[in-house]
């Protein structure tokens, strides 16, 4: 039994279809016509192995396909959801219009791209809680002053680590995303196409 799970509601573009998944509960197969309620999410989670007294966090994921690449843009759905969804909207806009962003975004083994929208004060660990082991993700946030979008690729439990670890960068799981994103220009220059290792 699983005591804690990250539940991801995926909205499939214009298809008016919604699915539910969880990296901690890989047996979930659930589809809906609209976002499931908390009761529906709990029912699906328990049937997939969430303990009766287990807890879950909800994340909302939008999808967009550009140049035959599927992009997933995810955000935690909590008290600050409206701020995170504004970041999601910004990422979706940039995916549609910014070729440089698309070219530098790291892809997974299925050639899909996952962005996780964050606020500068979110911790790195909480931000990537929905990533499967070995799945590279792109953390993205809007810089408060310049209002520019910053992105950094990170991977949890990589089979063949090649990039710097958080520790080597002077960061830890509880470091704020803002500190990681401040390193974006240096990381892009010195570690081109390498993923930051979250261990």
> Higher model confidence: residue 160 or residue 165?
165
CA 78 remoteness from chain centre: 14
Tell me the average pLDDT across 177-198. Answer: 68
Asked if residue 42 has pLDDT above 90, the reply is yes
**Which part of the chain has CATH 3.30.2390?**
2-61
| Three-class HEC string of 14-36 | HHCCEEEECCCCCCCCEEECCCC
Asked if residue 190 has pLDDT above 60, the reply is no
- pLDDT (0 to 100) of residue 160: 76
Confidence band of 16 (pLDDT split at 50, 70, 90): confident
- pLDDT (0 to 100) of residue 199: 43
Asked if residue 177 has pLDDT above 50, the reply is yes
Distance CA 159, CA 177 (A): 24
pLDDT-wise least confident of 83-87, 123-127, 162-166, 189-193 = 189-193
Average of per-residue pLDDT values in the chain: 90
Assign domain 2-61 to its CATH architecture. Answer: 2-Layer Sandwich (3.30)
pLDDT single digits (tens) 52-70: 999 999 999 999 999 999 9
Confidence band of 97 (pLDDT split at 50, 70, 90): very high
Cβ-based neighbours of 53, under 8 Å, separated by 6 or more: 3
pLDDT single digits (tens) 109-144: 999 999 999 999 999 999 999 998 889 999 999 988
CA 50 remoteness from chain centre: 21
Asked if residue 191 has pLDDT above 50, the reply is no
Q: What is the pTM of this model?
A: 0.92
């Amino acid at each position: 039994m699983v005591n804690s799970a990250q539940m991801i509601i995926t909205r499939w573009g214009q298809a008016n279809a919604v699915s539910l998944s969880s990296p901690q509960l890989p047996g979930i197969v659930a589809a809906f016509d609209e976002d499931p309620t908390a009761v529906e999410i709990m029912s699906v989670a328990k049937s997939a192995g969430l303990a009766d007294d287990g807890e879950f966090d909800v994340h909302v994921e939008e999808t967009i396909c550009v140049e035959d690449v599927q992009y997933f843009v995810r955000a935690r759905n909590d008290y600050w959801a409206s701020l995170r969804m504004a970041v999601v909207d910004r990422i979706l806009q940039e995916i549609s219009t910014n070729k440089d962003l698309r070219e530098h975004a790291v892809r997974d083994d299925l050639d899909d791209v996952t962005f996780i929208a964050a606020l500068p004060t979110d911790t790195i660990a909480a931000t990537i809680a929905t990533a499967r082991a070995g799945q590279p993700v792109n953390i993205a946030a809007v810089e408060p002053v310049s209002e520019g979008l910053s992105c950094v690729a990170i991977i949890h439990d990589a089979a063949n680590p090649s990039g710097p670890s958080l520790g080597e960068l002077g960061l830890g799981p509880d470091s704020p995303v803002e500190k990681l994103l401040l390193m974006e220009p240096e990381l892009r220059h010195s570690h081109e196409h390498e993923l930051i290792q979250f261990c």
